[in-house]
Amino acid sequence: MELKVSGLSKSYRRGNNKEVRAVDGISLAIDKGELVTVNGPSGCGKTTLLLMAGGLMSPDRGEVLLGGRDLYALPPEERDRERALRVGFVFQQFYLVPYLTVTENILIPSVGSGTWSPSLEERALELIYRLNLGHRAEHKPGELSTGERQRVALARALINEPSVLFADEPTGNLDDDNAEIVLDHIAGYAKEGGAVLLVSHDSRVGNRAHRVHRMKEGRFLEN
């Protein structure tokens, strides 16, 4: 298994506010070559689940095995390194760097993980063309449409050829044609041997999935 998540739980507490149990005992596993989707309404805990599974937020309970290594049992620096080398993350809010161009944004993870090389710039260009961004390579995020920014975020997540791709609402802001392009690309990434975990409230993303988990109030409905 490329990714194995067991018994993950997370509650948020804020001041005197009532505790929100965002994720409540979720388990799932994804092998190389598989695309798994989690589908559920706004607020059911999808982003919380994805952040924990991707090594970005410690769970209250449960564990995450990435390539067989228990992520949250590692010292923080080592966990960061694992994540930089093995994880690609498409954030719901993109988090592009405003003063860098599209091409530079896509190359950020390769700098962080020390994998930069001239051939990576070629890979960045290839991603730019395949994701329909050819005419925007030297633009800054502020000059792009939301859908274009979303595709830059996907290219950035793929630049290091991660073993697991985590995607949070990757079609949320796209018209049908561009949603199709993005989903093709993500499904293609799985076909080439990647493991993909995609969360969305858009039930259409399940069409190409190997497994679809339906989520409600922090839990999966089936399995």
Ligand X SMILES: Nc1ncnc2c1ncn2[C@@H]1O[C@H](COP(=O)(O)OP(=O)(O)OP(=O)(O)O)[C@@H](O)[C@H]1O
Nearer to Mg ion (CB atom), residue 41 or residue 188: 41
**22 near ligand X (CB under 6 A):** yes
Distance of closest approach, residue 47 Cβ to ligand X, in angstroms: 3
**201 near ligand X (CB under 6 A):** yes
* Strands 61-66 vs 35-39: parallel, antiparallel or unpaired: unpaired
Residue 56 gets which letter from DSSP? Answer: S
**47 near Mg ion (CB under 5 A):** yes
* Strands 20-30 vs 3-12: parallel, antiparallel or unpaired: antiparallel
Per partner kind, with CB cut-offs from 5 to 8 A, the member of Mg ion, ligand X, none near residue 45 is ligand X
Nearer to ligand X (CB atom), residue 44 or residue 53: 44
Nearer to ligand X (CB atom), residue 20 or residue 125: 20
Tokens representing 220 are 């999966």
Residue window 88-107: x/- pattern of binding to Mg ion, with contact defined by CB under 5 A: ----x---------------
Nearer to Mg ion (CB atom), residue 44 or residue 107: 44
Residues that bind ligand X (CB under 6 A): 12, 14, 20, 22, 42-48, 92, 201
Residues that bind Mg ion (CB under 5 A): 46-47, 92
